[in-house]
Amino acid sequence: TGVATMKFRSPPVNSLSLDFLTEFCISLEKLENDRACRGVILTSAIPKIFSSGLDITEMCGKSMEHYAEFWRAVQEMWLRLYGSNMVTVAAVNGSSPAGGCLIALLCDYRIMVENPKFSIGLNEAQLGIVAPFWFKDIFVNVVGHRVAERSLQLGSLHPTPEAHRIGLVDELVPEDKLQEKAAAVMAQWLALPDHARQLTKSMMRKAALDRLVAHREEDIQNFISLISKESIQKSLRMYMEMLKKKKS
């Protein structure tokens, strides 16, 4: 059918570690270069979580070199997914904070399972860190400036009905209808001639893509200088402690 499915399977919560990001980019590039593949559905193989976002252990107590390598991998994932020639559909079957929300935002279409326990949003501010401008740019593209300004400042995790109301996800479905719905949406998008659809997509996304490419190195330096602050390191350590206690 020309449609691939990428299922995230990195227990316990699909954190975006350096390994995960590297493998993600390799897989995506293979599909991108496979002329038989015209679309990809992104979903999770782990119940209740789509992706928990950037792996905090990669940002805590590591070397400057490691921070730079990690951040470059996040940028690379962003550039490849936002600039993909394929139709990209996020089938969000669980909670999707921070980098998890980012993956959904980078796709062409977002379908989420309706579940009162699931939420989605760029909640970086709650951790004492700041979403970079390229997270912000595509968030504004999806939900508009006013909603983005409030949501980013509050670090909001939106429950599914609210996520749908503000346009952060395009559609809500019951869990058992997710794959069927994703396939139907994909078929609708693949009915268009590839060439015209790809040129249109690239026209819509060019400004944001160009902006990250132009400021990539500067953004890495900003990240390193922010993340290596002792106050930030401390709040990340506290956050990890909290997560550990929650688990046990």
Can you name the residues that pair with 159 across neighbouring β-strands?
119
194-227 helix and 230-247 helix, angle to the nearest 10 degrees: 110
Instruction: Please report whether residue 104 would count as binding a second copy according to CB under 8 A.
Output: no
Whether the Cβ atoms of residue 100 and residue 15 lie closer than 8 Å to each other? no
Instruction: Please report whether residue 212 would count as binding a second copy according to CB under 8 A.
Output: no
R_g of the chain, CA atoms, integer Å: 17
Catalytic-labelled residue, pool 123, 157, 178, 212: 123
Nearest to 54 by CA among 112, 92, 117, 96: 96
Nearer to a second copy, 28 or 152 (CB): 152
Length, in residues, of the chain = 248
Nearer to a second copy, 42 or 232 (CB): 232
Binding residue for a second copy, selected from 1, 27, 57, 200, defined by CB under 8 A: 200
φ, ψ dihedrals at 7, nearest 5°: -105, 115
Instruction: Please report whether residue 5 would count as binding a second copy according to CB under 8 A.
Output: no
Nearer to a second copy, 49 or 227 (CB): 227
Is 99 assigned a catalytic role? yes
Instruction: Please report whether residue 179 would count as binding a second copy according to CB under 8 A.
Output: no
> DSSP 3-state assignment of 47?
coil
Count of residues interacting with a second copy (CB under 8 A): 43
Residue 68: count of CB within 10 angstroms of its CB = 15
Q: Which are the catalytic amino acids?
A: 54, 99, 123-124
Binding region for a second copy (CB under 8 A): 108-109, 124-131, 133, 136, 140-146, 148-150, 152-155, 167, 170, 188-189, 192-193, 195-197, 199-201, 203-205, 231, 235
